Amino acid sequence: MGNKAEQERLLEPYRVLDLSEQGYMLCAKILGDLGADVIKIEPPGGSPSRSIGPFYKDIPEPEKSLFWFSFCNNKRSITLNLETSDGRELFRQLVKTADFLIESFSPGFMDGLGIGYSDLTESNPGIIWVSMTPHGQTGPKAWYKGCDLTTVAASGYMYVCGEPDRPPVWISCPQTFINAAIDGFASAMFANWYRAMTGEGQHIDVSAQECSIRLMQDILPFWDTERRIVKRTGPSVPTGSGVRRRLHWRCKDGYICVFYTGGSGETFIRQDKETTKWMKENGMCPEWLEKFDWVNDYQATKMTQELVERVENAIGEFFLSMSKEEIFNEAVKRRIPLAPVYTTEDVCHEIQLEARGFWQKVEHEELGETLTYCGPFVQISPMPARIWRRPPLIGEHNLEVYEQELGINRSQLNLLKESKVI
């Protein structure tokens, strides 16, 4: 188990009630990674997020969802039907014991049940309540349904993704609810500091649409200052004159990422010259490129698309002669700011992540197997974040929470189960 510091957890004194779903579940997971006691409240029969694939060994069962595994380790699970009067009474008791409540219901849903923030702060004025929805709690679209696709489209970010002569594309990995969850976590920590100063809790209203607009930080200023809508450029970087320059380059086994920009600063000029030197040492630098004036002839305001393509074709042929790891290792020696574009397989064997112990083994006794997980997002000394609990089974901790912690006897629990309250 390690030494005492390793067994202690940074947020161990705090309790979290997690009623969120989908990518929003990351908010409570981060709190759990830092040691908080996170109780995932699921409807009887299990959370709808358990139906999200992929699944362990392609077995589509609610307790084999790898999506669930990813977002629900370091949590306990209880089942509770909030749409019954007995369920709401149990929920009120749970809220009295909680420091944080995380939810992603439609605005007004919990208020309609009489268990919203304003209903429950009288019994627990210090609770920090994080509400996460596609469009926030107020405004004309607050009650609109939304998913990652609609939310990233509504943020403006989708418009700049894709090829210039084709429609916008959706980024393959859903991000908007995850962005909202990260902001929800950060806001909860700010509110926790405020509570420590004043004793007062907060209701935090997180809009996934607004959080996703942060992805536009390099795009929005063009409209603000020039009233110009930035267009899609595909895998290239445009100049002010519209000339497109390559950012991703093919190599033997994939891609590397480097930007040749010419006379735009000492670092880039040194990089450009060092690349041509490297090419010459390998007998792959054309004579005209050896003599090329990177400072004066490759400026954004002067270059033409024809010139850019001539330069890029020569460098591109050079990169095609090597693997991405060969290119990267040599670029490090030459101090060229270049990076390999890793696949998922590459990431799983990446030496930096292995050296830092990012990958963590978690025993699943119910599967008879140990699975490898992404570790927590940060290392904190002397109480490191870590995975200390596997994802829970449906209602696995009902007895632990209801009987041992709330004092409800076994016969009452059996009646509640029969009436589908838990």
Structural domain boundaries in the chain: 4-215+357-418, 247-347
Q: In the chain, which stretches have pLDDT less than 70?
A: 1-7, 238-241, 263-264
pLDDT value at residue 241: 62
How far, in Å, CA of 91 to CA of 416, rounded? Answer: 13
Question: Tens of pLDDT along 234-271?
Answer: 877 766 567 888 999 999 999 999 988 776 678 888 99
State pTM to two decimals: 0.91
**Which tokens hold the place of 386?**
């870590």
Rounded-to-integer distance, Cα 247 and Cα 341, Å:
11
Contact 132, 180 (CB under 8 A): yes
What is the per-residue pLDDT for 21? 98
- Interhelix angle 176-198/26-33, rounded to 10 degrees, is 50
Q: How far apart are CA 401 and CA 409, in angstroms?
A: 11
Show contacts of 279-282: CB within 8 Å, 24+ apart. 279/314, 279/315, 279/318, 282/318, 282/321
Q: How far apart are CA 280 and CA 285, in angstroms?
A: 5
Q: Where does 93-216 show beta strands of DSSP type E?
A: 100-103, 128-133, 202-207
- pLDDT for 238 equals 66
CB proximity list for 113: less than 8 A, separation 6 or greater = 82, 83, 88
| Topology, domain 4-215+357-418 | Rossmann fold (3.40.50)
Nearest Cα neighbor of 210 from 257, 147, 154 is 154
Calpha distance 207→131 (Å, rounded): 9
In CATH, which superfamily holds the domain spanning 247-347?
A: formyl-coa transferase, domain 3 (3.30.1540.10)
